C-alpha cells in the first residue's frame, strides 16, 4: 500500500492506496508546533481507522508547501511507518515540464495537480485548486506547465471581511438561496460566494480567450465542490486529484 500526503498551508491531507483504490483519506490542521511523535500518533490512528497495519505500507510520498514542518513530519514517518518518504521536489520525475519564468517558484502541490489533471483527463487542460489560495494552472498538449493565476481563496476572502471590518461577523461559507440578501450574514455570504463564482468564471474565460485553444477544465480542493456545481465553465470536479497525481508521480519513480 502507498500513503500519499499533501501538506498545505491550512490542512494536511493524506490517503492510503490499495492498488488503484483509495482505502481511506484523512485531513488534519496544519500546525507548525507539532512534534514528530504527535504526527506519528496521528498517522497510526489514521491507519487503524482503515484497518491497515504498518507492515502493509510499502512507501510514502509527500508534497508540501510548508517546509518548516517537514523535519518533524519526516521523522514521524521514519519512526512510526519505518519508511523513508519520497518528497516531490528537485530530482523527482513528475512528467510535467515547468516552462514558467521561474520554475522553482511553482509549488509542489501545483505540479502534483498538473500531473493528475494532464495524465487522467488529457491536455490541454486548466486545473483549478480551491485551497488556501485558488490557483488556475494551464498545461498544454505536451504536458508543459505554461501559465498560472493565483487568487485569494474563499476562506481568505471571507475572513478578510470580518477581520477588516469591525461590525462584520465571521460567516459560514455557503451559497444563499438568492443574491437578494435581507440581513448582514446573508449579504456577506452572497458577496463572497456569488462573487467567487464570478471571479472563477471570468478567469477561466479570459485564460481560454488569451490561450485560444479548447481545453479541459478540472477543479479540486476542499471548497471546489461548492463553486464547481454553480458554473458550466468547470468540466469535472475531482476531490482526489492531488492524491491521484501523487500516485502517478510515485509510479514514475518506480519506472526510472
19-68 pLDDT, tens digit each: 999 998 998 888 878 899 999 999 999 999 889 999 999 999 999 988 89
Q: Do 67 and 126 have their domain in common?
A: no
The last residue of one of the domains, among 87, 113, 128, is 87
Q: Do 137 and 242 have their domain in common?
A: yes
What is the pLDDT at residue 170? Answer: 86
d(CA 176, CA 192): 10
Domain count, the chain: 2
Average pLDDT across the chain, whole number: 93
Q: Do 139 and 166 have their domain in common?
A: yes
Q: Do 138 and 217 have their domain in common?
A: yes
What is the pLDDT at residue 256? Answer: 59
Q: Do 240 and 114 have their domain in common?
A: yes
Of 109, 113, 129, 238, which residue is the catalytic one? 109
Residues 103-114, mean pLDDT to the nearest whole number? 93
Q: Do 101 and 131 have their domain in common?
A: yes
Assign residue 217 the CATH number of its domain. Answer: 3.30.420.40
Range of the domain at 75: 2-87
Residue 192 lies in a domain: yes
Residue 256 lies in a domain: no
Which is it for the CA torsion 88, 94, 100, 103, positive or negative? Answer: positive
Q: Do 147 and 204 have their domain in common?
A: yes
| Residue 109 among the catalytic residues | yes
pLDDT tens for 222-234 read 889 999 999 999 9
Check whether 244 has a pLDDT greater than 90.
yes
Q: Do 52 and 75 have their domain in common?
A: yes
**162: how many CB neighbours lie within 10 A of its CB?**
14
Amino acid at each position: 500500500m502507498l500513503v500519499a500526503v499533501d501538506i498545505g498551508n491550512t490542512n494536511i491531507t493524506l490517503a492510503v492506496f490499495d492498488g488503484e483504490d483509495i482505502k481511506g483519506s484523512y485531513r488534519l490542521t496544519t500546525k507548525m508546533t507539532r512534534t514528530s511523535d504527535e504526527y506519528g500518533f496521528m498517522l497510526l490512528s489514521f491507519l487503524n481507522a482503515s484497518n491497515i497495519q504498518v507492515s502493509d505500507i510499502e512507501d510514502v510520498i509527500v508534497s508540501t508547501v510548508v517546509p518548516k514542518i517537514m523535519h518533524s513530519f519526516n521523522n514521524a514517518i521514519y519512526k512510526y511507518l519505518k519508511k523513508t518518504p519520497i518528497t516531490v521536489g528537485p530530482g523527482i520525475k513528475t512528467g510535467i515540464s515547468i516552462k514558467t519564468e521561474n520554475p522553482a517558484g511553482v509549488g509542489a502541490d501545483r505540479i502534483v495537480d498538473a500531473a493528475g489533471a494532464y495524465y487522467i483527463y488529457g491536455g490541454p487542460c486548466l486545473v483549478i485548486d480551491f485551497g488556501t489560495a485558488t490557483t488556475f494552472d494551464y498545461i498544454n498538449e505536451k504536458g508543459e506547465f505554461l501559465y498560472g493565476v493565483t487568487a485569494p481563496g474563499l476562506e481568505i476572502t471571507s475572513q478578510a471581511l470580518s477581520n477588516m471590518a469591525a461590525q462584520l461577523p465571521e460567516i459560514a461559507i455557503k451559497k444563499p438561496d438568492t443574491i437578494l440578501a435581507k440581513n448582514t450574514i446573508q449579504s456577506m455570504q452572497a458577496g463572497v460566494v456569488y462573487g467567487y463564482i464570478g471571479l472563477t468564471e471570468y478567469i477561466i474565460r479570459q485564460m481560454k480567450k488569451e490561450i485560444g485553444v479548447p481545453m479541459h477544465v478540472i477543479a479540486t480542493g476542499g471548497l471546489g465542490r461548492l463553486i464547481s456545481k454553480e458554473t458550466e465553465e468547470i468540466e469535472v470536479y475531482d476531490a482526489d486529484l492531488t492524491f491521484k497525481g501523487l500516485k502517478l508521480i510515485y509510479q514514475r519513480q518506480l519506472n526510472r
